[in-house]
Structure 1
Amino acid sequence: MFSLRSLEVFYWAGRLRSFSKAAEKLNTTQPTISQRIGAMEELVGEPLFDRMAKPIALTRVGRTLFGHAELLLRQVVAMERDLELNRHLHCRIRLGVSETIVHTWLSRFLEQASRRFPNIDFDMTVDVTPSMLVALQNGEIDIALMLGPAVLEGFTCVKLKEYPLRFYAIPGLVTGEPLTYQKAPTVPILTYPRNTYPFDYLRELVFQRTGQPPRIFANSSISTIEKLALDGIGVALVAEGTLGAAKDGNILHVPSEIDLPPLRFYAFYPLGFGSEMLEELAAIAQRVASEDAHAE
């Protein structure tokens, strides 16, 4: 009969609809996945996957086995949880995280997560939300702490924290405060990349009010935005609390009549088997984010 490892391999190949993605998820090789699936198909006597489909798809027999495999694997996880065995399991979590969180409470999250799961290893990717959404859906990361909310089939999201968007500049760069809509097309604004909420919302808002687009210098690195702001290149528009120079007083908050909704961050992770530890990690992130808010 099938081993639990074979059922796990089959489950992830079916869920991700890819042998290569299943191999990445399980930290093994694609030939190993193919051999496991081939042995299972030989035992069943029928194909479990339609390999001609793009991406691959479960056959009728494969769909039947998938339901049973998920049920058995969930039972194993429940047993491990009741015996607290999951605390001692060595595993690798692929974490996607927005840079705003990197500059605020990521270290505290990693510290508390490692305390709860001492043998956990994190592979971290710092990226913008659109890229992480694709990576989540493609099974390339396991959990993402990023902007939301968003509706993703097969995923859930847990709200973490809101960050007000603020303008910052070196003293004297913006004369005649506050920063008005009329000034926005003339002063370079250093902010997040294209296809992110702050860039798109700011551009549309200023264009509607003035008939001109603002001068936006987009960058995916908050550290780079901070360096350019310190050099007097323009006014930084970032989440409150992310610029170290603002805490030191080298960059000042610039009052503005341009009012943008806050950045709202969520933990996204897939539903179903394999999400038990991710659910706990999301709860830890929620608690740490809440503690961060109370500390302000």
Structure 2
Amino acid sequence: MADLRSLEIFYWAASLCSFRKAAERMNTSQPAVSQRIAALEDEFGVRLFERRARSVALTPKGRDLLGYAERFLHLRTEMMRSVAGPGTMRGVLRLGVSETIVHTWLMRFIARMNETHPGVTVDIAVDISPNMRDALLNRDLDLAFLVGPITMPSLVNLPLCSVSLAWIAAPQLDLGPGEVSLASLLRHPLITYPKNTNPYVSLREMLARSDLPPPRLHSNASLSTIVRMAREGIGIGVIPPEVVRRDLEEGALRVIAPAPALPDIAFTATYASLPDSGLAAEAARLACEVAAAPDWRQ
């Protein structure tokens, strides 16, 4: 009878249309995947895949088996979630993280994962949200903490937290006396998130409605670089105050207030709804607990 490991390998080969990608996903070799598939075909007496130059495609019988494989894997996930304790989970969690989360509560999440899931290794990739969305859809990430939600039926979104944006500058930057107007802010370059992110788009739209001259708007994928540029007085950073808490306490940076309000950034824990997404779902739930604690904002 087909064992669960073979059915799992078959599922990933079918889902990814590639024996090579299935081998990477299952942490095995491509010949081992081919052998498992061949053994299944011998056992059922049918061809499950049509081999092509650079990919594979399911035969009609392969599509039939895929439905049963999905049900077996879903049942295993439900069984582990219901019966087994979290400490029994094993494997690698491929986690994508927005840099804003890195500068706020990510280390607390990693500490909690190490405490509650000692058998799980977390591989972290820091990236912008659009790239992480694509990686989730391509099955290159298991879970992502990103600007969301991502409205796709194949993805699950759990609300994590919201962070506010503020105008942040070095104390030596001359902004004139009294209340700081948008016109006064725009006399200096603005430095913020990359162009294909929600914070940049929201800022750009707000400035477009102001009827003021186009600003010098610098985008950067590195939050650390944005902070460094603001600290050096190159321009005004449009970033969350939480990520520069120490600089604000030490007086290296200041929040410009009162100033025009900026929209908050909402983050979600997002993962693909897959038969074996139990680890991603459990980690997402734990991340929600960590993000809900108020002390990381203080």
Do the structures match in fold with TM over 0.5? Answer: yes
Is contact 2:155-2:273 (8 Å) kept?
Answer: yes
In the other structure, the counterpart of 1:263 is 265
TM normalised by structure 1 equals 0.91
Query: What's the offset of the Cα at 1:88?
Result: 2.2
What letter is aligned with 2:255? Answer: H
Once residues 73 and 251 of structure 2 are traced to their aligned partners in structure 1, the CA distance between those partners, rounded to angstroms, is: 54
Query: What's the offset of the Cα at 1:153?
Result: 2.9
In the other structure, the counterpart of 2:238 is 237
Query: What's the offset of the Cα at 1:122?
Result: 0.8
Decide which of 246, 249, 267 is 2:248's aligned counterpart. Answer: 246
Is contact 2:168-2:241 (8 Å) kept?
Answer: no
Does 1:289 pair with 2:291?
Answer: yes
Is contact 2:129-2:197 (8 Å) kept?
Answer: yes
Once residues 140 and 115 of structure 1 are traced to their aligned partners in structure 2, the CA distance between those partners, rounded to angstroms, is: 25
Once residues 239 and 49 of structure 1 are traced to their aligned partners in structure 2, the CA distance between those partners, rounded to angstroms, is: 50
What does the per-residue CA deviation read over 1:74-103, in whole Å, with 9 as the maximum and x for residues that have no partner? 333333344426522431110000000000
2:146 partner SS: strand
Q: How does 1:125-140 map to 2 (within 5 A)?
A: 125-140=125-140
What letter is aligned with 2:156? Answer: T
Query: What's the offset of the Cα at 1:34?
Result: 2.6
Q: How does 1:180-259 map to 2 (within 5 A)?
A: 180-210=181-211, 212-243=213-244, 244-255=246-257, 257-259=259-261
1:209 partner SS: coil
Once residues 56 and 214 of structure 2 are traced to their aligned partners in structure 1, the CA distance between those partners, rounded to angstroms, is: 45
2:168 partner SS: strand
1:73 partner SS: helix
What does the per-residue CA deviation read over 1:231-288, in whole Å, with 9 as the maximum and x for residues that have no partner? 1111111123011312332100012543221000000011131112211111111110
Once residues 250 and 208 of structure 1 are traced to their aligned partners in structure 2, the CA distance between those partners, rounded to angstroms, is: 32
Does 1:99 pair with 2:99?
Answer: yes
What letter is aligned with 1:131? Answer: N
What letter is aligned with 2:254? Answer: L
What letter is aligned with 1:253? Answer: V
Query: What's the offset of the Cα at 1:220?
Result: 1.2
Once residues 56 and 250 of structure 2 are traced to their aligned partners in structure 1, the CA distance between those partners, rounded to angstroms, is: 54
CA spacing shift, 1:46–1:164, aligned 2, 3 Å: same
TM normalised by structure 2 equals 0.91
Is contact 2:99-2:223 (8 Å) kept?
Answer: yes
Once residues 151 and 31 of structure 1 are traced to their aligned partners in structure 2, the CA distance between those partners, rounded to angstroms, is: 37
What letter is aligned with 2:187? Answer: T
CA spacing shift, 1:183–1:38, aligned 2, 3 Å: farther
2:67 partner SS: helix
**Runs of 5+ in structure 2 lacking a partner?**
none
CA spacing shift, 1:207–1:168, aligned 2, 3 Å: same
In the other structure, the counterpart of 2:62 is 62
What does the per-residue CA deviation read over 1:176-232, in whole Å, with 9 as the maximum and x for residues that have no partner? 354433245431111111111122221232123225332122111111111111111
Query: What's the offset of the Cα at 1:45?
Result: 3.1
1:182 partner SS: helix
What letter is aligned with 2:281? Answer: E
Is contact 2:133-2:150 (8 Å) kept?
Answer: no
CA spacing shift, 1:228–1:32, aligned 2, 3 Å: same
1:242 partner SS: helix
Percent of paired sites with the same residue: 38
Is contact 2:172-2:233 (8 Å) kept?
Answer: no
CA spacing shift, 1:59–1:185, aligned 2, 3 Å: farther
Query: What's the offset of the Cα at 1:37?
Result: 1.9
CA spacing shift, 1:193–1:291, aligned 2, 3 Å: same
Once residues 297 and 101 of structure 2 are traced to their aligned partners in structure 1, the CA distance between those partners, rounded to angstroms, is: 15
